Amino acid sequence: MDQTTINEASSYIQDKLGAKPSLGLILGSGLGVLADEIQNPVIIPYKDIPHFPESTVAGHKGRLVAGNIEGKQVIAMQGRFHFYEGYSMKQVTFPVRVMKQLGIESIIVTNAAGGINTSFSPGDLMVITDHINNMGSNPLIGKNNDELGARFPDMSECYDREYIQLAGKCAEELGITIQKGIYVGNTGPTYETPAEIKMLRTLGGDAVGMSTVPEVIVAGHAGLRVLGISCISNMAAGILDQPLTHTEVIETTEKVRDDFLHFIKKIISRLPQ
């Protein structure tokens, strides 16, 4: 995706926006409800945006919602693009480039994930402290555009330390218990086998999903400050004696919806302007 492509998408969006967004939001499976809380929303379907792919999964809406929430100008992706849908890593992360071009300085990336850490329970919210890219690819492969970021970007503090601390404080004030941990990004679309989950636990993973890692890599490359939040929608394979279903993922995210909303809104209200 070259600069012209990014500019064509961002110009199209910018023409419809009332104000410059400072914060981007990527809302995962079942977590799109946050976008419904945005005041004076400008809604832009992905299919209308030049060079945007279309999203295909049930429970993902496929549109941008821009406006004000908790005193901040935000632009939210209600639904994202997944590698398992057949999109390239560049396509999956294109919206991050576009949101950066629109002026965001920070991004909150959310997802539904399976719990690997046996002390977790379905319904837990986990602040992501680090990730393991287990997708076998990287969105930055190819010629580097030095205008967008470094050839060999540092990933040692990809998830902003201050934001992690802030999230902890917000949870405490709300009386919500949260987990902190390491997110493993797998390609999907299969869920893992019990043996794979055991391996990922040995490698240090706490939660596993099929998204987030590509977007966070590009956000890091672009110099954005990142906060990642996983909703533990189910325990991963081999922990409980039950099969995994996408229905369970959606049902759990619906159950924690209020906590999730309060938590994210409090964080947004406390982020620097």
- Residue 129 has a CB neighbour count (10 Å cut-off) of 16
| Peptide bond before residue 189 is cis, with ω within 30 degrees of 0 | yes
Taking CB under 6 A as the criterion, the residue among 94, 191, 260, 263 binding ligand 6GU is: 191
- By beta-carbon proximity to ligand 6GU, the closer residue of 31 and 66 is 31
Q: Considering only 39-47, 88-96, 110-118, 150-158, which stretch makes contact with ligand 6GU by CB under 6 A? A: 110-118
29 marked as binding residue: yes
Q: If you count them, how many residues does the chain have?
A: 273
CA 214 to chain centre: 9
**Rounded-to-integer distance, Cα 272 and Cα 225, Å:** 11
**Rounded-to-integer distance, Cα 68 and Cα 72, Å:** 5
Is there a catalytic annotation at residue 191?
no
Is there a catalytic annotation at residue 51?
no
The residue whose Cβ lies closest to ligand 6GU is 114
Q: Which single residue is written with the structure tokens 């821009």?
A: 66
Cβ atoms of 52 and 9 within 8 Å: the answer is yes
Is there a catalytic annotation at residue 60?
yes
Taking CB under 6 A as the criterion, the residue among 102, 249, 268, 271 binding ligand 6GU is: 249
In the set 35, 46, 76, 85, the catalytic residue is: 85
- By beta-carbon proximity to ligand 6GU, the closer residue of 82 and 97 is 82
- Is residue 114 within the footprint of ligand 6GU (CB under 6 A)? yes
Is there a catalytic annotation at residue 112?
yes
What does the DSSP 8-state code read for residue 203?
A: T
How distant, in Å, are the alpha carbons of 94, 219, 264 from that of 147? 15, 14, 31
221 marked as binding residue: no
- Is residue 231 within the footprint of ligand 6GU (CB under 6 A)? no
Is there a catalytic annotation at residue 210?
yes
Is there a catalytic annotation at residue 196?
no
| Encoded tokens for 101 | 């071009």
For the bound state, the minimum distance from the C-beta of residue 184 to ligand 6GU, rounded and expressed in Å, comes to 8
113 marked as binding residue: no
Cα four-point dihedral sign 243, 210, 108, 70:
negative
Is there a catalytic annotation at residue 246?
yes
Annotated binding-site positions for phosphate: 29, 60, 80-82, 112, 211
Interface residue list for ligand 6GU (CB under 6 A): 112-114, 186, 188, 191-192, 208-210, 233-234, 236, 244, 249
